Amino acid sequence: MKSSLNNSSAFFEFTPNRATIKKSATDSILIQVILKMKGIITMPILTSLMMPSEMGIFNIILVTASVITPLFTLNLPDGSVLFFSREKSLEKIQTMYMTVLNTVGLITLVLTLIMGLLILIFRRDLLPSALWVFLVLFGTIFYKLAEFIFAIYQKTRILLGNAFIRDLGVSVFGVVLVAIGLSYKGLVIANSTVIVVMGLVLFRIVFKYFSYSRKISISYLKTFLKMSIPLLPVFFFSWVIRSSDSYFLMHFMGENVVGKYSVVYGLCNIILVFTYALNYFWFPVSSRLWIENREKYRQAFKSAFSAFVSVLFVAVLMFELNSKIIMKILARKADYQDAFIIVGIIAFAFALQVLITLLTAPLYANKNQNIILFCYLSGALLNAVLNFLLIPRYGLSGAAISTAVSYLLIVSTMSFFNYKIAKFSFLDKRIVYAIAFFSILWAGCAYLRNQLNAFQTMFSSFVIISIISILLYFVVLKEDEKRFIIEIVRAFSLKRA
Q: What is the pLDDT of residues 168-190, one digit of tens each?
A: 888 889 999 999 989 999 999 99
Q: How far apart are CA 430 and CA 440, in angstroms?
A: 16
d(CA 210, CA 203): 10
Identify the pLDDT of residue 463.
92
Rounded to the nearest integer, the mean pLDDT of the chain is 83
pTM: 0.77
pLDDT of residue 9: 55
Examine the pLDDT at 276 and tell me if it is beyond 80: no
Mean pLDDT on 28-55: 76
pLDDT for 79? 75
% of the chain at pLDDT higher than 90: 33
Could you tell me the pLDDT band of residue 34, with boundaries at 50, 70 and 90? low
Return the pLDDT at 494: 47
Segment 87-115 mean pLDDT: 89
CA 35 to chain centre: 11
b (16+ CB within 10 A) / e for 193-226: bbbbebbeebbeebeebbeeeeebbeebbebbbe
pLDDT given for residue 289 in this prediction: 75
- The Cα–Cα gap between 47 and 401 comes to 25
> Among 58-72, 84-98, 150-164, where is mean pLDDT lowest?
150-164
**What pLDDT does residue 497 have?**
40
Evaluate whether 335 touches 281 at the Cβ level (below 8 Å): no
d(CA 69, CA 236): 10
Over residues 448-481, the pLDDT tens digits come to 988 888 889 989 999 999 988 888 878 777 777 6
Residues 136-149, mean pLDDT to the nearest whole number: 91
Q: Reply yes or no on whether the pLDDT at 495 is more than 60.
A: no
pLDDT at 421 exceeding the cut of 90: no
Q: Give Rg (Cα) of the chain.
A: 23
Q: With cut-offs at 50, 70 and 90, classify the pLDDT of residue 349.
A: very high
Q: Which pLDDT band, with edges at 50, 70 and 90, does 4 fall under?
A: very low
Mean pLDDT of 181-203: 93
> Residue 21: its pLDDT value, please?
59
Q: Is the pLDDT of residue 238 over 60?
A: yes
Average pLDDT over residues 13-19: 57
Distance CA 156, CA 24 (A): 6
pLDDT at residue number 318: 94
Residues 104, 392: Cα–Cα separation, whole Å: 39
Q: What is the mean pLDDT of residues 53-78?
A: 88
Percent of the chain at pLDDT > 70 equals: 86
Whether 408 has a pLDDT exceeding 70, the answer reads yes
Average pLDDT over residues 407-427: 88
